[in-house]
Amino acid sequence: MLAEIITIGDEILIGQIVDTNSAWMAQQLNLIGIKVKQVSSISDDADHIVEALQLAKKRAKVILITGGLGPTKDDITKFTLARYFNMGFRRDQETLAHIEGIFQRGNRPMIELNRQQADVPDGCIVIKNKNGTAPCMWFESEGNIIVSMPGVPFEMKYLMEEEILPRLKNAFKLPFIVHKTILTANIGESFLATEIALIENSLPAHIKLAYLPKLGQVRLRLSAIGEEEQSLKQEVDGFAQQIVEKVRQYVVVEDDIELEKAVLNLMEAANLTLSTAESCTGGYIAHLITKHPGSSKVYQGGAVVYSNDLKESVLGVSSETLRQFGAVSEETVREMAQGALDHFKTDYAVSVSGIAGPGGELPNKPVGTVWIAVAHKAGVVSKGFKFGNKRIQNIERSASAALMMIINELKRNTV
């Protein structure tokens, strides 16, 4: 079963907003056995919408459209759909009552433009949007299902979860799709592919292996499709274990989670706490950690110490160390990590200092030079890195390397 997603809005095409809807919708469709054939972002133009719809109907059975359902003149989706399906309009009384209730509760005046949001093509099935004023519209035409939803993410997600996905499951006999993800680090994609080539070549046709690289990391995702869910899970788990055994030293976790979440899970399970001391990453590691709910069970706090004065006054780094070896050095990051461990009274601390670029190059320390240290009660470990000359990439690579060093120390000390 194939689906296509069409997002409508000039604001997407000019980069004013980022289309996060499509990725989320594709994930949810995949979970119920519907594969997305194509994602298209198009302008608020009637002819363009019609053309996209005609092409999509040739490729997919299910077409999901978001955007262009607001009350203003630039929101033309429902008028274009009415023209495409040769339908007139009717005012849906349930939708109208819902809109009136929203305005009454907010003690706001309601004008005719607001009431017109209850006008829908007279041949569609109206699905109530409990989180907004624009209704969802379901069309069935020539064996296709076309659904038009608001582009506001929390409105769209509610409609998908509560209405659209259950209706699609009832409308079709869908296969099961099973995924298994293995997160690896400290090995490049090409080297990883070489290591597991024999296993990959032995996969049956209904199981696919995808490589999903990110700076310093590669996710391996096994995907299987079939009619028997339990047998698929057993089959995928078997191949996953073969891969893990082959590249165990590079495996972070057998789960589809981010690297920092793996750190949090390991530390929470061991009842351990963490603090950070960041220079060149400017708090990015702390940001990654604290974006996850429940991170406070592990993460106690940290310091962003760009200047040498703060490295000394906040973390207790020796002025002699800074004078003799510089801020970007093994000696400095070791003292930073130990200082964070002592100051924040945590079980583990990680420190980073480097030259993110594009300027700041020093003799024997080019842009991309980074030192990282991890401190715990058993001591301090440190490692130097030579990244590239791109500032953002250097910051991201530094964070990834720091998190991986924490994981390595956790495994060494808790296993």
pLDDT per position as a tens digit, 132-174:
888 999 999 989 999 999 999 999 999 999 999 999 999 988 8
Q: What is the pLDDT of residue 415?
A: 55
pLDDT value, residue 70 = 80
Domain ranges of the chain: 2-171, 176-253, 259-414
Query: 259-414 architecture in CATH?
Result: Alpha-Beta Complex (3.90)
pLDDT score for 73: 76
**Per-residue confidence (pLDDT) for residue 107, from 0 to 100:** 87
Look at residue 106 in the predicted model and tell me its pLDDT. Answer: 83
Q: Output the 3-class SS for the chain.
A: CEEEEEEECHHHHCCCCCCCHHHHHHHHHHHCCCEEEEEEEECCCHHHHHHHHHHHHHHCCEEEEECCCCCCCCCCHHHHHHHHCCCCEEECHHHHHHHHHHHHHCCCCCCHHHHHHHEEECCCEEECCCCCCCCEEEEEECCEEEEEECCCHHHHHHHHHHHHHHHHHHHCCCCEEEEEEEEEECCCHHHHHHHCHHHHHCCCCCEEEEEEEECCEEEEEEEEEECCHHHHHHHHHHHHHHHHHHCHHHEEECCCCCHHHHHHHHHHHCCCCEEEEECCCCCHHHHHHHCCCCHHHCEEEEEECCCHHHHHHHHCCCHHHHHHHCCCCHHHHHHHHHHHHHHHCCCEEEEEEECCCCCCCECCECCCEEEEEEEECCEEEEEEEECCCCHHHHHHHHHHHHHHHHHHHHHHHHC
Q: What is the pLDDT of residue 113?
A: 84
2-171 CATH fold: Molybdenum Cofactor Biosythetic Enzyme; Chain A (3.40.980)
Question: 286-309, pLDDT tens digit by residue?
Answer: 999 999 999 999 999 999 999 999
Residue 18: predicted pLDDT: 86
Specify the CATH number for 176-253; select among 3.40.50.11030, 3.30.70.380, 1.10.4190.10, 3.30.70.2860: 3.30.70.2860
**Residue ranges for the chain with pLDDT beneath 50:** none
